[in-house]
Every structure is written in C-alpha cells, then in structure tokens.
Structure 1
Amino acid sequence: MSAAMPPGLPSVILIGGSAGALSIARSLRPRGVRVYAIAPRTSHLRFSRHSQWIPLPKAEDRQTQWLDFLMQRAGEELRGAVVIPCEDDGLELVARRRSDLERRYVLIEANDAILLALLDKEATYALAREAGVPAPRIWPVRSVEEAASLRDLTYPCAVKPRHSHRFQRHFPFHKLLVTRNRDGLLDALGLVFGRGLEVFITEIIPGPEDAYRSYFTYMDESGEPLFHFTKRKIRQFPNGCGLGTYHVSDWNPDVITLGLQFLRGARHRGMANVEFKQDPRDGQLKLIECNPRVVFINELLRLSGIDHSLLVYNRLVHRALPPLGTYKVGVHVLRPVDDFRAFRVAHRRGELSWSTWARSLLRRQQLLVFRWTDPWPTLARLGLGLRSRAVRIASRILPLRGAPDATQRWPEIV
C-alpha cells in the first residue's frame, strides 16, 4: 500500500517514456506523490500500480495533443503538478511552450535554447566542437546531389537524423541508417529526404559493444553538478547501435571530466546523460549524444544508490535533496530477452561464444523492469509482445492486402 499523500505535495505528470518513466513512478508513488502518465497504450506505465494512466487517442501530432490536454482538458486536480518529459517529443513541447505551460504547472529546469540544440544531433556536435570535446566526424548534407559531390567519405558510414524523435515516426525503434558504399548512401538519403527528414552523414566509431560509456548528473543554476554517476554498456540490441541490454555502474574519472567539459561548454542546466564511445584508433572518448532528460536506464541509478527521480522532484518543489554522495559500483542491470537476442547476433558473427556470454551473467543481476511487487508492467508487455509476434507470423502465412513488397531492398537499418 502506498504511503498517504502528504498535504500539499504536488502530483507528477509523466509525458511519454517507458522503463525510465516507470522508474520515476516507482520512486515517487511510495513516497506519497500521485503519479499520472500520458503514455502510449503499450507503455509500462499503463499497467503499473504506481501510476494512473491517462488514455489519449493515437495522434499524428502528439505535441499538439499533449498541449491541448494539459491546457484545456486536464482537471483542476492536476493544476500545479510537476511535468516531467520522459522522451524527446515531451522535451520539445516544454522547450517551445514553456511560457504557456508554466501558468498551470511546475516545469523542469533547463536553458530552453540548449534543450533544443541537444535535441538536434548536428547542433549537439557543434556544441562539442566549441567545448573542445571529441566527436565523430560529420558531413552536413541537405540533398542527395550535395552528398553525391562529397569525395572524402569513408565507408561504412551512417545517415543520422538531426532529430531522433521525428526520424522514429518513420523508422520506429531505429537510430540511424548504416550504408556500406556510395550507392547505398545515396539510396538511404533519397529515402529519408523523401519523407521530409533532416539528416547528416557521420563516420561510424569502430569498437566493441562495451566501448560505450555514460555520465549522469544534474547541473544547477551556477553550472555546478549535484552528483556524478558513470556506467558502462556491456551489450545492446540492435547490435552496433541500439538500446543497452546489459549495463554496469562504475566510476570513470575520464568520463566525468569530459562529460562536465561538454555540459559546462554548452551552458546546460538540469538533467543530463552524456554518452561517449571509446575509439580504438586513438583511445579517445567520442561524444555520441546528450540526453537532457530521464533515460531508459534510469533505474540503474536508483539501484546503485542515487535516487535521480527523487532528486529531480524535490529540486522542483523545493524540498530537501536525497543523499547524493557515493554509490555502489558493479551493479548490473539486465534485460534478459533482448540480451539473448544481442548474444545470438554476436554469436553468429563469431564475436561472442556461449561460454563467454554465460560467464558474463554469473553475478548478481538486477532486472530493469520486473518487480514482484509490481509485476504487471512486465507480464502485460510480454503478452503484447507475444500477440505482436503471432500477427507477424500470420501475415507471412496469409499475405495482407497492401503489405509492402518483401523483395524491395532498403539500406541496412540499425
């Protein structure tokens, strides 16, 4: 049973997100904070005992729909709630409509111009250059013809979206397009430009899956970090560029130093997760991205002893901050189904043996989502996944009218 609501404690509205947003609900609701979730029907939040799901119909323009709900249709019980965006569409909404939203709600701390720059990967790399932080080499392009004139590209390379959340409306769950040669590159660019997307070309930093390092902190109004936390990604799926399936908390001073250099150079304020990849060619950490919000792996911080969700909430409602000192290193968080999928791909490529994979799991594991005290987010999502798989199998057996031509070849999607 959740704790009784302390009088006057503001509610929280989570906008979007899934596992990261669920971590917030599981941190705050037992402390008596009522948590509302504006999230898709498939979100973990819909099924959790720690959140009250707000069903909205599927919409092409989610930001307009969310703004209409928050400003026109939300009940008076939500007035004064803390709004925490848990995905990029929510961040963009706050950054662009802060003056409207703050008339009714408490909003996250941020420099909105920097928020919008961090949502633009090309602008993010420009901020890295200004801060003296190494980053992958990129080639800004605005047309297929412009790309065709480039003579210094190296392959493989990738077509990367400037705005990931817009790209994923057309290519769900994918971060970029990998191309192996010039023809593939021009085909990929024709595909994305035809959908009105803004992209650039980037080199691919080589190296194994566990070369990804991340720094988490919260920058106050004076540009000082409220805490330091680092972690390493062990595996991910899709392999090469996907969501982490196996993570471990660590303490990496080099990642902290470079992460702070980027954030201070960018004049960032508020939540921050800076991801790097170590380049085996020169040993340097290269900036991959910076997420100024709660991310998918937020639960790892809480399990390690840094309650990031409570920090964000207490800071915004002017309550005492939770302990932010030392944390446990060596905490492993696993997504078992997707980790097995990542292993299968690596095994087929000859990169990972059964014995090496099994040995990597012979330690105390924490699951990212499943909890005995709140099992339905996992069980319901498992049921939805099985249903989706059954539909895919049926579609192969019984071809659907209007289904895409299976013989049509697109550039590799990662």
Structure 2
Amino acid sequence: METSVLGMKPPVILLGGLANTTSVARSLGRAGIRLFVVAPESSPVLRSRYIHQRLPIAKGQESVDYYHHLLVESQQLPQGAVVFPCSDCAIDFVARFKASLQQRYVFDIQDPQHQLDLLDKQKTIDLARQAGCQAPGYWPVASLEDVQRLLGQLRYPVLIKPIHSHVFQSRFNKKLFLIENEEQLLEQAQRVLGASIEFMLCEFVPGPDTLLSSYYVYRDQQGRVLFEFTKRVIRRAPPNFGAGAYHITEWLPQTAEAGRQFFQAMAFTGLGNIEFKTDPRDGQLKVIECNARFTGAQELVTRSGVDMPNLIYNFLVFGTHPEQQSFRDNMTLWIPLDDFDSFRELHALGKLTLWSWIRSVLRPHVFCYLSVRDPKPFLFDVWAQLTKRIRGKLKA
C-alpha cells in the first residue's frame, strides 16, 4: 500500500452517516489518521476539524451513484485506505462492490452476504429463529391481496415494517408505520405498495422503551472477540417506534448471551450490533433489528471506554488483538430536543410527569455532537435543528 511505503498510517474513508460518522471521525482524527468523508452536504461531520478532505453529497444526488463515482470510476481516493460504511446505504454499496474494490482498499472482515442479510429485516427475523433466538411474528406481503387475506386475523397494533429501512426512511422519513386498525392498515399498505417499497406486517412487542437493550461485538475470523458492549434505552422519539433519544450504558448478561447466540450461529465476522426488546407477556428477549455498522449511539460507546473505531482500525491494519475492553456503566447519551418531544408525548398520555422527566435528565451526559475541541459540528447541528423546528411551526 502506498501509505505504508510513506511510513504513515493508512487513511480512512467514511461513507455516509450522521452522528455515528462524527464520533468515528473524532476517534480516528485524534489518533492522527487522515480522513476522507463522503456524506450528505447537510451532515454535521463535514464541519469537523479532523477531516482531511470533505466530499459532500449534494441534495438530490443519489449516495450510491456518488460512492460508485469516487471509489469505482474515478478512483480519486487514496489507494490502501480503510473504508468504513456508516449508513445502511453505504453498507449495501460496499457489500455489492467489495469483491472488485478490495484490491485497492481495505475493508472490514464482514461477509458481504451477512451485511446484506442484516439489512433485510425479514431475513434478520429468519436468522434469529434459526439461531434459536426469539423474534416477533411476521407476515410477508407482496400485494394488497396479501394484506386483505389477513384482515380479521391480526391483533392490533401491528407494524408495517420495511424490508430495507433506509429505502423506507428516504421516502417517508419514518422507520415504520404503527397500525391501530384495519382501515389504517389498508390505507398505509396501499401507500407503501404504491411507492414500490417492500415491507412485511410485523407483530408489535408491547411495553415501554425501557425494555429495549443492545449488544455490540467484534468477532474475528476465528470467532475471537475484540470487544463486547451492552446498553439499554430510556426513551425514544417518538415513543415505541422512533430513534433513541436517551441511552444508558449497563452490562446486561442476558442481552449479551442472546447476542452471542445470534452472531455465533451465523458464524458472523466483523462489527455487529443487535437490538432486543423484553416482551412483558413472556419475559423473553425478542430480536428487533440488527446493524453491521457503527450506530447513532457511537459517541456513548467511545466515551464509556470502548474506542471501537481505533480498535477495529488497528486490528485491520496492524493485526492487533487487545484483551477484552471494559466500559463504564451508568453513562448516558442524551439528545435534548428529541427527548423533550418524547416527554411531551408521554406526558400527554399520562405516562411521565414533568418533574419525573426533569429528575431523569439532571445528571452529566454524553452528547452526539458536543465537543470543546471540535465545536463546529455541534453548532451546525443546533442551528439546523432549530431552523427545522421553526420552519415546521411556521408551516403549521
């Protein structure tokens, strides 16, 4: 690799992502690694002081097309660079083009088929069941007739859950649809089918968001573990089916054991993350989703003591395999505006008082973008969030 000849650490190319990419960039940047970031022009990470070269994806431009142009067609990015996909779209691209690109770039040791399988939410449930893990029930849907045949058989609420979340989110700006009755089911099913987006109907696991927990692991080709990490959720926005707004670190043996069972059954290699929800009806952990990438809570992972980006980078480049990394329990990641939105909804339902919410957040926190040494991503994100909310109120 040309970077090795120069006696330098190979640079890193980060593809896509938002808060996770910013956290990864800071971890690697502090280690003196040159960073080339390909992300939407509105992404806070492009304002980071640690970026060597910014390659913004223009609004309306397809991310995959730009990745293909940069890495396949023009080959203008440095040979020998380590490529980290930080979004589902980027994972899909890497999985499909890894074979033709790995002579020029360094990739994680993940099996491309595993990456594609974990992007597929229906396939993920099938894999969970094959591994002996519990998972929600689901009903495949290919047409409106499939939905109509299920009328009268479903217990509401149910979920319209996309097969590929990133495709659904780019169209509807939501992770899924929560369906309360047959009329709503037919209306939303027609809407999704009309957009030619694949989905399934999925059982809704009841209970509050505090029943959610996650397991992170890195497994090498021999099944040895580079690190393990667990956390749980305090609140999401919107409650029950949004993104995490308040997370807390905690070693959760049952979550870790269920995660190990899942990834071992797959013979999975590389970075994996799996989320569970404890079903209050039977006390079992049910698989909710999986990711083969850094997640939005990455800054919490790093600050708690597991510097995943550097551990993975050093393993891929230098073959280092340190002892299992420990982490600090009871650290929290808080996204204030999103969590306030969550509070408002829970308060309206009589599930959370103002004083209880205030008490829950009166403590030191980790924030996705806040950094004294690298302030611009935080300032950009605050401005973008406030502007978005003001515009929303003006339109209302």
Match of 1:8 in 2: 8
Q: Which aligned pairs between 1:259-338 and structure 2 lie closer than 5 A? A: 259-321=259-321, 324-338=324-338
Name the structure 2 match of 1:402.
none
Aligned residues: 389
Q: Deviations over 1:36-60 (max 9, x none)?
A: 1100111121111112321233355
In 2: Cα distance, 1:72 partner to 1:309 partner: 27
Higher alpha-carbon deviation: 291-300 or 57-66: 57-66
| 2:57/2:63 contact within 8 Å kept | no
In structure 1, the partner of 2:172 is 171
Kept after mapping to 2: 8 A contact 1:271/1:293: yes
Q: TM-score, normalised by structure 1?
A: 0.90
Alignment of 1:388-407 (within 5 A): 388-396=388-396
Where 1:352 maps in the other structure, the secondary structure is coil
The TM-score normalised by the length of structure 2 is 0.94
Worse-matched range after superposition: 216-225 or 126-135: 216-225
Deviates further, 313-322 or 180-189: 313-322
Q: For 2:235, what is the secondary structure of its paired residue?
A: strand
Aligned letter for 2:372?
A: W
Instruction: Name the amino acid aligned to 1:274.
Output: I
User: Contact conserved, 1:210 with 1:234, CA < 8 A, in 2?
Assistant: yes
Shift of 1:325: 2.9
2:386 aligned with 1:386:
yes
Counterpart-to-counterpart distance in 2, 1:189 and 1:348: 28
Q: Which runs of 5+ in 1 are unaligned?
A: 1-5, 397-414
Q: Which moved more, 1:272-281 or 1:260-269?
A: 260-269
**Inter-partner Cα distance in structure 2 for 1:322 and 1:330:** 24
Q: Gapped runs of 5+ residues in structure 2?
A: 1-5
Query: What residue in structure 1 maps to residue 86 of structure 2?
Result: 86
CA change 1:380–1:322 in 2 (3 A) is farther
| Corresponding position of 2:63 | 62
- Letter aligned with residue 291 of structure 2: N
- Larger CA deviation: 192-201 vs 366-375: 366-375
Q: Give per-residue Cα distances to partners, 1:180-212, cap 9 Å, x unaligned.
A: 111211111110111111000011100111110
Name whichever of 15-24 and 352-361 sits farther off.
Answer: 352-361
Could you say what secondary structure the match of 1:107 adopts? coil
| Other-structure match for 2:246 | 246
* Bigger shift: residues 270-279 or 311-320: 311-320
Mapping of residues 224-235 of structure 1, within 5 Å: 224-235=224-235
User: Quick check: 1:47 aligned with 2:44?
Assistant: no
Offset at residue 393 of structure 1 (A)? 4.3
Describe the SS at the equivalent of 2:366: strand
CA distance in 1, matches of 2:56, 2:358: 41
Work out the CA distance in 2 between the residues paired with 1:387 and 1:31.
34
Summarize the Cα distance change of 1:394–1:354 in structure 2 as closer, same or farther, 3 Å threshold.
closer
Higher mean alpha-carbon deviation, 150-159 vs 191-200, is at 150-159
Aligned to 2:3: none
Larger CA deviation: 300-309 vs 48-57: 48-57
- Partners of 2:60 and 2:390 in 1: CA distance: 26
Where does 1:185-264 land on structure 2 (aligned, <5 Å)? 185-264=185-264
State the one-letter code of the partner of 1:28: L
Letter in 1 for 2:29: R
Give the AA of the match of 1:92: D
Match of 1:103 in 2: 103
1:219: how far off? 1.3
- Matched-pair contact (CA < 8 Å) for 1:310–1:321: no
Bigger mean CA offset, 59-68 vs 218-227: 59-68
Q: Determine the structure 1 residue equivalent to 2:160.
A: 159
**Partners of 2:75 and 2:314 in 1: CA distance:** 23
Contact 1:59 1:65 in 2 (8 A): no
| Number of the residue aligned with 2:364 | 364
What percent identity do the matched residue pairs reach?
Answer: 39
* Paired residue secondary structure (1:366): coil
Given that residues 42 and 381 in structure 1 are in contact (C-alpha distance below 8 angstroms), is that contact kept between their aligned partners in structure 2?
no
Whole-Å separation in 2 of the counterparts to 1:135 and 1:193: 25
Distance 1:196 1:178 in 2: 19
Aligned residue type for 2:361: L
- How far residue 322 of structure 1 moved from its aligned partner, in angstroms, is 5.4
- Retained in 2: the 8 A contact 1:306–1:323? no
What residue identity is the alignment partner of 1:62?
Answer: S
| Residue of structure 2 in register with 1:403 after alignment | none
| Alignment RMSD (CA, Å) | 1.6
Shift of 1:138: 0.5
Judged with a 3 Å threshold, the aligned counterparts in structure 2 of structure 1 residues 236 and 70 are, in CA distance, closer, same or farther, namely same
The equivalent residue for 1:123 is: 123
CA distance in 2, matches of 1:246, 1:373: 24
Pairwise CA distance, 1:241: 1.2
Name which of structure 1's ranges 386-395 and 127-136 shifts more when overlaid on structure 2: 386-395
Instruction: Give the whole-Å Cα distance in 1 for the aligned partners of 2:36 and 2:130.
Output: 39
- Cα 1:323–1:335 change in 2 (3 A) is farther
Moved more, 219-228 or 346-355: 219-228
**Displacement of 1:321 after TM fit?**
4.4
Check 1:142–1:338 CA distance in 2 against 1; reply closer, same or farther (3 A cut).
same
